Structure 1
Amino acid sequence: MKLKLNLRRGVRQVFLASALAGVLVASPAAQAETVTAVMQSGLRVLDPILTTAFLTRDHGYMIYDTLLGLDEHFKIQPQMASWQVSDDQKTYTFTLRDGLKWHDGKPVTSEDCIASINRWASVDATGQVLMTMVQSMDAVDASHFKVVLKQPTPLLLEGLSKISSRPAFMMPKRIADTPASQPITEYVGSGPFKFVAAEFKPGLKVVYEKNKDYVPRSEPPSWTAGGKVVKVDRVEWVGMPDQMTAVNALQNGEVDFIQQVPFDLLPMVENHDGLKVEVIDKLGAWTYFRMNHLYPPFDNKLVRQAAMAAVSQEDVLKALVGNPKYYRTCAAVMGCGNPNGDNYGADWVIPGNLDKAKALLKEAKYDGTPVVVLQPTDIAMLSAQPVVIGSALRKAGFNVKMKTMDWQTVVTQQGNQKSPEEGGWNIFSTYSILASSGDPFGNTTLAANGRKAWAGWPDVPEIEALRVKYAQAADAAERKQIAARIQKLAIDEGVVAPLGQFQIPAAYSTRLTGIVAAPVTVFWNLKKSDK
């Protein structure tokens, strides 16, 4: 037995060494103060406007900045700009703060910001509705610009400060003029870190250097607001698809931070000397699956309802999390515990009801059309859901075909509007942070304007009309009533299938201090000690 254990340990150490060899050695800045992090997956998609993927969003916060920030009290704060509003609440004048420079040394201008807003708004679910309410957007001079609204709405400030999934990151005009349907090819921001293109290895390694020209705000950091003070020289993200390898690397000091620790590996780090386990996003996340409304069988509402009825949230959460300390069932698409949380549909969405699912399939005359389920294999927080969904759908009578790939491939596949026979898909699952899911605009899943909507492309005009009413309403009680109507439609029409809520623990070396508790993983304010 001892021989077997030693052999197994030796094999694991060889595997760890080979996995780390390509990303952790021969760094040109070996003497610099560097934080090495294992993120949820390897980064390949770099354009934060082209995708809603969280990893690309996190990359965006490293090198770009936003006009406005959102603090831990959900209050909108100045970031790159302050604002004044006219008495009729229709004209907003934004003033860029002093010292803003792009990474190439050129000053940030109003024209840059207008171009960035336009690119973001052309594809973002919030921005698309917002721009129907904008009469004009013009530069006053290099550091001032005006936005004139057709009618008063809080959506302007809410949109420019949104933290996820597609924040309104500012870029130089020459880059922001790239159509949002095309990826940018130059990654120049004005944020606290600079992207080191020469060291980028897609899926394996991303390097960021401190932007020494960045002038942070003076306020304490709070979520995406306040001072973004960088206290290390470099941050390196290294890709490690094997989670055990990542945990071993953390234990051995080869890496400093793991963004998401698989729940079954938590015991390995919870009581390990020199390591700390912490839920950094205290509000947590909700997980769900999305169906493709464009093609059979999910172009039929009854079939969508059958799929939702078939899947038990408890089964999903047990497979994904296991420990009830970290999860809860919930039918509210805008979040249990959030002001707009509504429990409509809980009686059949939460428990899983195979009899109901089979009856709905029979009523819909389902003919056995294959259901292609995308299954990422490299992210612990996303690999369990498709397996449970696929099993439940088979039990209900669906013809299921699992399609395995890494998460970044799923990200690129999400926007594929071709039929499943032509390489498209029928179902994928993911999760979103609750901090940005509590309203029908921050919640990307609730846009329902057909092919202009997020992946899945539901076409529910009544939801779109209610979203506009929500944008026009300033009264919290009225907004809550509108949100409840959207919840009912989202469930009945199969716009999104909620699978419950959970928290994600991170683990890091005790040499790190100053980690900002936020729904977004950020690396400003963080310090690394020698011991």
Structure 2
Amino acid sequence: MAIHLSPRRVAAASLSALALCFAATASAQTVLRTVPSSDLKIVDPIWTTANITRNHGLMIYDTLFAMDEKGVIKPQMVDRYSASADNKVWSFTLRPGLKFHDGAPVTSQDVIASLARWAKRDTLGQKMYEAMDSIAADGPNGFRMTFKQPFGVVLDALGKPNPLVPFIMPKRVADTPADKQIDELVGSGPFTLAKEDFRPGDRVIYRKNTAYVPRKEPASGLAGGKVVHVDRVEWVMLRDPQTQANALLNGEVDMLETVPSSGYTGMRTNDKIELVDVMPAGPFTVLYNHKVPPFNNPKALKAAMLAINQEAMLRAQVTFRDFYKPCASIYLCGSLYASDKTGFYTGKPQFEEARKLLKESGYDGKPVVILLPGDAPALNKLPAVYGQLLKQVGFNVDVQTTDWATLVTRRAKKDLPENGGWNAFITFWGGVDASSPIGYSPLTGNGDLGYFGWPVVPELEALKTKFIATADLAQRKEIATQIQQVVLEHGVLAPLGEGKAPTAVRRGTITGLLPSPAVLYWNVRKTSAPSP
């Protein structure tokens, strides 16, 4: 069953037309309508690290383990597990009654196939499989991992919350080659998604999985009992921030996952709206294409990093000082591995040194293509400001506006910019994502096997392996600092500081939102709006 992802563009429809469409919903159902952070066009959560696709995965798939609100990894699909004294043999048993949406039971063969596909694309998964000797079924509901050397972060890998998440799929789906997108949307999670309910550019309709059996523990973060209290959740794709605000005020949607900075002032003073802190702060980063000029030249790359002005860029994007913080560390400031040992990189512009380095690089003046996602209000100011800063250094800059879904597809291209490739793009990471070197997707130095930008930094990969091999916290902190210094020195990424945005709901109608790296829709209740 092929899923055709051709976008259905929503005409600049009036809110009244939107309301007429909503009125067709059966009144007997409890329907929660929300505006997600961006449009969903790629539905394979192992094929892309886009947060919107990860969030889609959280709706329809389940995981072996999951991270709770305090950052502790807890069993999810797993009923019980054990590890040998030397951490070389790990045994797992699935909890009983797990079923996919098509009614088939979840088996150890599904798990093994799903993990194998995930590990081909995920950086932590790659490390785990490098250390692994074998993974084998132990009956229909059990499996065993045997490692060549101790691998102390098995649970961190299986319960990682950030893209790429090791979601469990049916074996026939997981057998899809890792470089090809899946064409079935069958999971075992708390919601289902049918082909006819997926309308890119318009809406995505998730229906309650009535056969799902939640864990008995209370919900906490991504862990615990995923109890669904609504009949369906509709992701409504509204691009314009003012249209989003009007739809929320008029009751045509119940939530905005993230409040654009342009709407913050009006919403915080409106008695119909409640702003909720759900997702923690996270860092913005610049990713550079190391395969093509000019950033395949270390001096040009360093010049681009020295042009960064975190304060100016964050102020333009986030606006309100309460919601942003400059920070030169690659890790979330205040987190366990954050360090002020950042070498030449300060997050403050050093134009004179940057101009000197750019001249020494032999830069030929060809346009540097920076991708700007016009439909992502949480990101779309940063590329333009960065473009102006690069011009002050001497780069010829071409800021190209696209939509986020196209950016996600285009960033996978290794072509020259004039042939559809790119030089730089800016993205945002959840705070949990950026708190440890083993779960932070862009910290790769293994070239084509790594994250977009494809830097080749063997020293980085060796340090990550060393980090994984030790359980000593002091040693881990020292290694994490070394990783930071290598990442910045080689321009693997450039931190732009941290930002956050509240979630907006209609006051008195939505309860049960869980603090988490993503807005979650289990545990959430919707009640009628209070009388004015």
TM-score by length of 2: 0.95
Shift of 1:384: 0.8
Is 2:506 aligned against 1:506?
no
**Greater CA drift, 179-188 or 258-267:** 258-267
Q: After superposition, where does 1:193-212 map in structure 2 within 5 Å?
A: 193-212=191-210
Task: Decide which structure has greater helix share.
Answer: 1
**Greater CA drift, 366-375 or 141-150:** 366-375
Shift of 1:387: 0.6
| Cα distance per residue 1:435-471 (max 9 Å; x no partner) | 1211222111111100111101111000000010011
| Cα distance per residue 1:401-455 (max 9 Å; x no partner) | 1111111111111211222122100000001011121122211111110011110
Q: Distance in 2 between matches of 1:21 and 1:456?
A: 43
Q: After superposition, where does 1:28-47 map in structure 2 within 5 Å?
A: 29-47=26-44
**Which residue does the alignment assign to 1:3?**
none
Query: 1:508 and 1:104, CA in 2 relative to 1: closer, same or farther beyond 3 A?
Result: same
State which of 288, 293, 296 in structure 2 corresponds to 1:296: 293
Q: Distance in 1 between matches of 2:186 and 2:197?
A: 15
**Which residue does the alignment assign to 2:241?**
243
Would you say the 8 A contact 1:279–1:503 is kept in 2? no
Is 2:477 aligned against 1:480?
yes
User: Which consecutive unaligned segments of at least 5 residues does structure 2 have?
Assistant: 1-11
SS in 2 for 1:174: helix
Shift of 1:348: 4.1
Give, as a single letter, the amino acid of the residue that structure 1 aligns with 2:479: I
SS in 2 for 1:207: strand
Q: After superposition, where does 1:188-227 map in structure 2 within 5 Å?
A: 188-227=186-225
Q: After superposition, where does 1:406-445 map in structure 2 within 5 Å?
A: 406-445=403-442
Q: Distance in 2 between matches of 1:157 and 1:524?
A: 23
Shift of 1:76: 1.1
Is 2:376 aligned against 1:388?
no
State which of 451, 455, 465 in structure 1 corresponds to 2:462: 465
Give, as a single letter, the amino acid of the residue that structure 2 aligns with 1:174: R
Q: Distance in 2 between matches of 1:14 and 1:93?
A: 54
Q: Distance in 2 between matches of 1:277 and 1:320?
A: 19
Shift of 1:349: 3.2
Give, as a single letter, the amino acid of the residue that structure 2 aligns with 1:102: F
**Which residue does the alignment assign to 2:55?**
58
Q: Distance in 2 between matches of 1:145 and 1:269?
A: 50
**Which residue does the alignment assign to 2:14?**
15
Would you say the 8 A contact 2:372–2:401 is kept in 1? yes
Query: 1:279 and 1:178, CA in 2 relative to 1: closer, same or farther beyond 3 A?
Result: same
Shift of 1:151: 1.3
SS in 1 for 2:429: strand
Shift of 1:178: 0.2
State which of 447, 452, 455 in structure 2 corresponds to 1:455: 452
Shift of 1:62: 0.2
Query: 1:493 and 1:347, CA in 2 relative to 1: closer, same or farther beyond 3 A?
Result: closer
Shift of 1:24: 3.1
Shift of 1:487: 0.6
Q: After superposition, where does 1:268-417 map in structure 2 within 5 Å?
A: 268-281=266-279, 283-345=280-342, 348-417=345-414
Q: Percent identity?
A: 42
SS in 2 for 1:247: helix
Q: Distance in 1 between matches of 2:128 and 2:441?
A: 14
Q: Distance in 1 between matches of 2:187 and 2:413?
A: 28
Shift of 1:31: 3.1
**Which residue does the alignment assign to 1:8?**
none
Q: Distance in 2 between matches of 1:24 and 1:291?
A: 42
| Cα distance per residue 1:229-266 (max 9 Å; x no partner) | 00100000010011110110000000001011111211
Would you say the 8 A contact 1:23–1:204 is kept in 2? no
SS in 1 for 2:432: helix
State which of 129, 136, 139 in structure 2 corresponds to 1:131: 129
Is 2:189 aligned against 1:229?
no
Query: 1:130 and 1:328, CA in 2 relative to 1: closer, same or farther beyond 3 A?
Result: same
Shift of 1:279: 1.9
Would you say the 8 A contact 1:68–1:161 is kept in 2? yes
SS in 1 for 2:371: strand
Would you say the 8 A contact 1:195–1:208 is kept in 2? yes
Would you say the 8 A contact 2:109–2:171 is kept in 1? yes
Shift of 1:347: 6.2
Q: Distance in 2 between matches of 1:285 and 1:16?
A: 33
Would you say the 8 A contact 1:449–1:460 is kept in 2? yes
Q: Distance in 1 between matches of 2:39 and 2:201?
A: 4
**Which residue does the alignment assign to 1:88?**
86
Q: Number of matched residues?
A: 516
Query: 1:499 and 1:261, CA in 2 relative to 1: closer, same or farther beyond 3 A?
Result: same
